[in-house]
Chains A and B, each alone.
Chain A
Amino acid sequence: MSSNSQKKGFGATIWDYMTTVDHKKIAILYLISGGFFFLVGGVEAMMIRIQLMKAGNDFLSAGTYNEVLTMHGTTMIFLAAMPILLAFMNAVSPLQIGARDVAFPFLNSLGFWLFFFGGIFLNLSWFLGGAPDAGWTNYASLALASEGHGIDFYSLGLTISGFGTLIAGINFLVTIINMRAPGMTYMRMPLFTWTTFVASALILLAFPPLTVGIFFMVFDRLFGANFFDVTMGGNTIIWEHFFWIFGHPEVYILILPAFGIFSEIFAIFSRKRLFGYTALVFATILIGFYGFMVWAHHMFTVGLGPTANAVFALATMIIAVPTGIKIFNWLLTIWGGNISFTVPMIYAVAFIPSFVAGGVTGVMQAIAPLDYQLHDSYFIVAHFHYVIVGGVVLAILAGTHLYWPKMFGTMLSEKLGKWTFWFFFIGFHLTFFIQHFLGLMGMPRRVYTFGADQGWDLFNAISSAGALLMAIGVIILLVNVVMTVAKNERVGNDPWGDGRTLEWAIPSPPPFYNFAQTPLVRGLDPYWIEKMEGNKEGMVYAEPLGDIHMPNGSIIPFVISLGMFTAAFGAMYHMDGHAWALPVLIGGLAITFGSMLVRSLKDDLGFHVTKEELIADNERIQREARALEGGKKGGLK
């Protein structure tokens, strides 16, 4: 694995990805699996909208509908949005700070495989007796009453994938604190790296409450522990607290990296440095901080009393201030710029009104007494889809176009990208805008059907039509991906022409060791500074060319995760009294802990890329770049 440009057989490529510890390949793994789960969640969304297309529809039965809605939410949040954002974090943020890899490459791989096996485990529930059906929030009284193994799939699957996410978060924190190139001070870090940093801190602090809550749930279901069983002195509202102490920061774990991606896009495609960079950084930190102070606004109707409701209402309103600061700074970034409407920029420009609409309905719901009407109605469904689709998913689509060349060395078609955009964007507003009014007209969320006498028929039909447009948009994106991969037209370092940060200073995709020499950072937007000063070489370097120490690949992370995956089946079926379940549980854990032991006892010192190899590699890169320039006649702007 000394060079990623070598041609390999299919089996060897698969093995390479199974054992890789390279952040760029792990990014691709996250993108592919997150993308797969995004499609699964999308199919589930379409099933929901088909069922609600007209009053009294019988496309899905009541029980199946609850499974579909639960899996739609759980899949989209845990298995699609977060992993795809982790894909961009992996692909880009080590490059943005001029690092050779993340701080713990082995853990990076482990984090991915835990997420992957957790996600697979959760989705296998469809084939093994039924999916979870208590909503993605899994409120305890309903979860404990749920028959079959659906809820066990939920709790065990999320435990496993949650470990993976936690590991990823810790890894990025350490990486960003320790591995910045010389001159890359905190206040010169690109906004995407900043948001990765803050989101990682949120992961570190928010996932433990979820893990504790889910552990209680597992113990209640598997061993009758009665944490949440009211008849035995348990309390179900504790679950709601655990869930939302995690759940609200979770929303910011999703939206902050999205903000980061858009911040990069606004600067690149306006050819202008971010307006109010310092304010943007502090707004990010404040949003992360407040994110932990507001969880009870999801529980205004639980009956916590007026004091708690008033305090959490005011705390929630405060979040509007830093968010507003961000919006205005972005507007002032494009103000006076030179705006090029590429696909990523179109998404970014479309994000502003969509997210503002989602934000203002958020403030409306912060008004606790008003929320008594809006809570658990279609108004809230509209609100969180406006922030998650209008914020996070638009960022994911924008980021896919923006970083595709850096990850794969080819450009997605701009033309097809615009088609995807228009279908998706129009479909999105058509689907969700009208849902605000459905909520105000009294339609509760999570209903599998509605009567013709409720007056909701027309708006539901419109909403379903919008969903179809979104689906068409996503299909065009898939076509775009397939065509781009098939064409395989290579691009250079800075395919957008206006790259500002370090990732655009090296080849697309970068060599496995990233920077042959660690760059010296001389200010915010270091690559832009060098470009403006006419630096032909690309960057100034902080060290002479020398041997590079790199980690070896390893299959151990895969095996550790496989062991936990196996153990989860044993744990789940043990409660049914199957004789084979206990050995499977013990065997799975033995595989996991055994491979940890192997990892601890066996020294793996990595390998060195020698100076000579680097020089040879650099010549190859230069040659390829020249060929590219020649082929394009006049080259890139």
Chain B
Amino acid sequence: MMKGPKKWRLFALMTTLLVFLSGCGREEISTLIPAGKVAQDQFNLLILSSIVMLFVIVVVTIIYVLAIVKFRRSKVGEDMIPEQVEGSARLEFIWTAIPIVLLLILAVPTVYATFDLADVTAMDAQDEEGVAENLTVNVTGKLYWWEFEYPEQEIRTAQELVVPTGERVYFNLIAADVKHSFWIPSVGGKLDVNPENVNTFYLEFDKESSELEEGVYFGKCAELCGPSHALMDFKVKTLNREDFDAWVAAMQEEQEAPTETLAQEGEALFGQDGLSCIACHAVNSAGAATGQGPNLTTFGDRTTIAGFMEHDEETLKNWIADPQQYKPGNLMPNAASLNNGEELSDQELNALAAYLMSLKVEE
């Protein structure tokens, strides 16, 4: 009989908390506005544990406030000698037993979720024709940038992860140099990117990122990895399955050469007869090998330069001229060192920028 109203009260409490908390942070990055099953499970654990802990805090606070108000010297008298109480077995039992019960309440969902979130058995599932049933992305953390390989689709990109919504996406994580940690706060908790072993987990993306103010979710490196650890950002674009398939198809095609003259000039500079940028940066996705530098096939589609800067030509030119100034410790040489020690002219920078901005697979 009591069940109805009690449940309602709990629901009301949860909603109030939710409203209160959703004032905190940006939808693109806050763990308090979960945008997928994993983050939602973790958020539920956060709320459950917060309620239990709030109970503990309230009990302690009541005893505490009463004690320091009732028994202050100004109240009980300067010379009062209190009774020297030894203790109480019954009280000791109570405050041992109650916390154990509270912890059991937390322990059950903890163990369940630990195993549930680590369940990647479906990763290798194949249909009758030997095609993988689920999407897997191989993530490689490199000094201050991220590479994303789609092994089944045989395409490769960097800095902006593109994934379909409404299904489990499995990830294989490994570091190419030092340890990193892969974290998309609003979609799910992090997993370390170790140099010695592949770590595996899954995430689910509920919402198309085009609905967000910034158009992408924010991803982070969560493990100190050197001077530019703070700048080792990536972005996540979530598309519905249809758009995702279209994106994959576009990625799998040979990319078209630029038509504009300035961009063509840039392409020449980018190539082997110019500055040899192409030695590190591939501009074709299909079948590309892992790169010294980020794959730039989708550069023109991205929302940031180097993962964290404004996506405009001015920033791009500054970045090319002197990458160390913006992302200290990264491995990209400055343009002058590729140009026999001479700074690039404005014309050359303009050409490179125009070319890079023309690299697009989306409309």
Which of the residues A61, A341, A370 comes within 8 Å of B42, measured between beta carbons? A370
Is B8 located at the chain interface by the 8 A CB criterion? Answer: no
Is A275 located at the chain interface by the 8 A CB criterion? Answer: yes
Q: Interface stretch among B27-35, B156-164, B263-271?
A: B27-35
B190 with A135: CB separation less than 8 A: no
Which of the residues B67, B84, B116, B179 comes within 8 Å of A142, measured between beta carbons? B179
A321 with B99: CB separation less than 8 A: yes
Q: Interface stretch among A115-123, A356-364, A401-409, A544-552?
A: A356-364
| Chain A residues positioned under 8 Å from B191 (CB to CB) | 301, 303, 372
B87 with A370: CB separation less than 8 A: no
Would you give the shortest CB distance from B166 to chain A, in whole angstroms?
A: 22
Once A375-B222, A444-B220 are accepted as A-B contacts, the answer to whether A303 and B67 lie under 8 Å apart by CB is: no
Once A279-B92, A364-B50, A455-B25 are accepted as A-B contacts, the answer to whether A449 and B230 lie under 8 Å apart by CB is: yes
Is A418 located at the chain interface by the 8 A CB criterion? Answer: no
| Chain A residues positioned under 8 Å from B29 (CB to CB) | 441-442, 454-455
> Complex Cα distance A335/B71, Å?
7
| Chain B residues positioned under 8 Å from A625 (CB to CB) | none
Which of the residues A356, A440, A450 comes within 8 Å of B230, measured between beta carbons? A450
A372 with B115: CB separation less than 8 A: no
B43-68 contacts to A (CB < 8 Å): 45-46, 49-50, 53, 56-57, 60-61, 63-64, 66-68
B49 with A142: CB separation less than 8 A: no
B46 with A364: CB separation less than 8 A: yes
Which of the residues B67, B181, B214, B224 comes within 8 Å of A135, measured between beta carbons? B224
Would you give the shortest CB distance from B171 to chain A, in whole angstroms?
A: 11
A313 with B73: CB separation less than 8 A: no
Is A237 located at the chain interface by the 8 A CB criterion? Answer: yes
Nearest residue (CB) in B for A368 is: B114
Once A373-B190, A442-B31 are accepted as A-B contacts, the answer to whether A341 and B72 lie under 8 Å apart by CB is: yes
A353 with B60: CB separation less than 8 A: yes
B110 with A310: CB separation less than 8 A: yes
Is B344 located at the chain interface by the 8 A CB criterion? Answer: no
> Complex Cα distance A339/B69, Å?
9
B201-253 contacts to A (CB < 8 Å): 214, 218, 220-231
Is B328 located at the chain interface by the 8 A CB criterion? Answer: yes
A372 with B226: CB separation less than 8 A: no
| Chain B residues positioned under 8 Å from A532 (CB to CB) | 81
A303 with B96: CB separation less than 8 A: no
> Complex Cα distance A139/B96, Å?
37
> Complex Cα distance A353/B60, Å?
8
> Complex Cα distance A334/B186, Å?
45
Is A224 located at the chain interface by the 8 A CB criterion? Answer: no
Is A208 located at the chain interface by the 8 A CB criterion? Answer: no
| Chain A residues positioned under 8 Å from B196 (CB to CB) | 230, 235-237
Which of the residues A61, A271, A357 comes within 8 Å of B82, measured between beta carbons? A271
Is A462 located at the chain interface by the 8 A CB criterion? Answer: no
| Chain B residues positioned under 8 Å from A371 (CB to CB) | 189
B53 with A364: CB separation less than 8 A: yes
A444 with B221: CB separation less than 8 A: yes
A139 with B30: CB separation less than 8 A: no
Is A340 located at the chain interface by the 8 A CB criterion? Answer: yes
A139 with B223: CB separation less than 8 A: yes
Which of the residues A135, A364, A444 comes within 8 Å of B49, measured between beta carbons? A364
| Chain B residues positioned under 8 Å from A352 (CB to CB) | 60, 64
Chain B at the A interface: mostly helix, strand, loop or mixed? mixed
Would you give the shortest CB distance from B349 to chain A, in whole angstroms?
A: 24
A337 with B71: CB separation less than 8 A: yes
Once A334-B71, A338-B82 are accepted as A-B contacts, the answer to whether A302 and B192 lie under 8 Å apart by CB is: yes
| Chain B residues positioned under 8 Å from A310 (CB to CB) | 110-111, 114-115
Is B132 located at the chain interface by the 8 A CB criterion? Answer: no
| Chain A residues positioned under 8 Å from B227 (CB to CB) | 61-63, 66, 133, 448
Is A453 located at the chain interface by the 8 A CB criterion? Answer: yes
> Complex Cα distance A236/B225, Å?
13
Would you give the shortest CB distance from A220 to chain B, in whole angstroms?
A: 14
Would you give the shortest CB distance from B41 to chain A, in whole angstroms?
A: 7
Which of the residues B41, B77, B106, B226 comes within 8 Å of A317, measured between beta carbons? B106
Give 1 or 0 for each of B79-121: 1 = CB within 8 Å of chain A CB: 0111111111001100110011001001101110111111000
Is A19 located at the chain interface by the 8 A CB criterion? Answer: no
Is B353 located at the chain interface by the 8 A CB criterion? Answer: no
Which of the residues B87, B179, B186 comes within 8 Å of A278, measured between beta carbons? B87
Once A272-B85, A310-B115, A454-B218 are accepted as A-B contacts, the answer to whether A230 and B226 lie under 8 Å apart by CB is: no
Residue among A369, A447, A450, A453 with max Cβ neighbours from chain B (10 Å): A369
B31 with A373: CB separation less than 8 A: yes
B63 with A335: CB separation less than 8 A: yes
Once A334-B67, A372-B190 are accepted as A-B contacts, the answer to whether A442 and B96 lie under 8 Å apart by CB is: no
| Chain B residues positioned under 8 Å from A314 (CB to CB) | 107, 110-111
> Complex Cα distance A370/B229, Å?
23
Is A631 located at the chain interface by the 8 A CB criterion? Answer: no
Is B291 located at the chain interface by the 8 A CB criterion? Answer: no
A264-308 contacts to B (CB < 8 Å): 270-273, 275-279, 301-303, 305-306
Nearest residue (CB) in A for B228 is: A62
Is B177 located at the chain interface by the 8 A CB criterion? Answer: yes
Nearest residue (CB) in A for B223 is: A376
A275 with B56: CB separation less than 8 A: no
A320 with B76: CB separation less than 8 A: no
Is A332 located at the chain interface by the 8 A CB criterion? Answer: yes
Once A63-B227, A441-B29, A441-B32 are accepted as A-B contacts, the answer to whether A340 and B73 lie under 8 Å apart by CB is: yes
A327 with B106: CB separation less than 8 A: no
| Chain B residues positioned under 8 Å from A377 (CB to CB) | 185, 222
Which of the residues A361, A367, A440 comes within 8 Å of B32, measured between beta carbons? A440
Once A314-B111, A360-B57 are accepted as A-B contacts, the answer to whether A446 and B224 lie under 8 Å apart by CB is: yes
Give 1 or 0 for each of B169-190: 1 = CB within 8 Å of chain A CB: 0000001011101010110111
A367 with B49: CB separation less than 8 A: yes
Nearest residue (CB) in A for B61 is: A353
Is A596 located at the chain interface by the 8 A CB criterion? Answer: no
Nearest residue (CB) in B for A314 is: B107
Is A336 located at the chain interface by the 8 A CB criterion? Answer: yes
A372 with B117: CB separation less than 8 A: yes
Once A61-B328, A442-B29 are accepted as A-B contacts, the answer to whether A145 and B100 lie under 8 Å apart by CB is: no
| Chain B residues positioned under 8 Å from A493 (CB to CB) | none
Would you give the shortest CB distance from B25 to chain A, in whole angstroms?
A: 3
| Chain B residues positioned under 8 Å from A444 (CB to CB) | 183, 220-222, 230
A442 with B328: CB separation less than 8 A: no
Is A226 located at the chain interface by the 8 A CB criterion? Answer: no
Once A328-B91, A453-B214 are accepted as A-B contacts, the answer to whether A372 and B188 lie under 8 Å apart by CB is: yes
| Chain A residues positioned under 8 Å from B190 (CB to CB) | 301, 372-373, 375-376
| Chain B residues positioned under 8 Å from A318 (CB to CB) | 103
A331 with B60: CB separation less than 8 A: yes
| Chain B residues positioned under 8 Å from A327 (CB to CB) | 60
| Chain B residues positioned under 8 Å from A336 (CB to CB) | 71, 82-83, 85
Which of the residues A61, A139, A273, A370 comes within 8 Å of B85, measured between beta carbons? A273
Would you mind naming 18 contact pairs between A and B with Cβ atoms under 8 Å apart? A141-B195, A310-B111, A313-B107, A327-B60, A328-B95, A334-B67, A338-B73, A352-B60, A357-B57, A372-B188, A372-B189, A373-B46, A373-B188, A376-B223, A440-B32, A444-B183, A447-B230, A453-B26
Q: Given contacts A327-B60, A442-B185, could you give 15 more A-B pairs where the C-beta distance is less than 8 Å?
A: A62-B230, A142-B178, A142-B225, A306-B115, A310-B110, A324-B56, A338-B81, A340-B73, A356-B57, A357-B57, A364-B53, A369-B42, A441-B24, A442-B31, A455-B25
Closest A-B pairs by Cβ, 7 of them: A372-B189, A441-B25, A447-B230, A442-B185, A442-B29, A276-B87, A62-B227
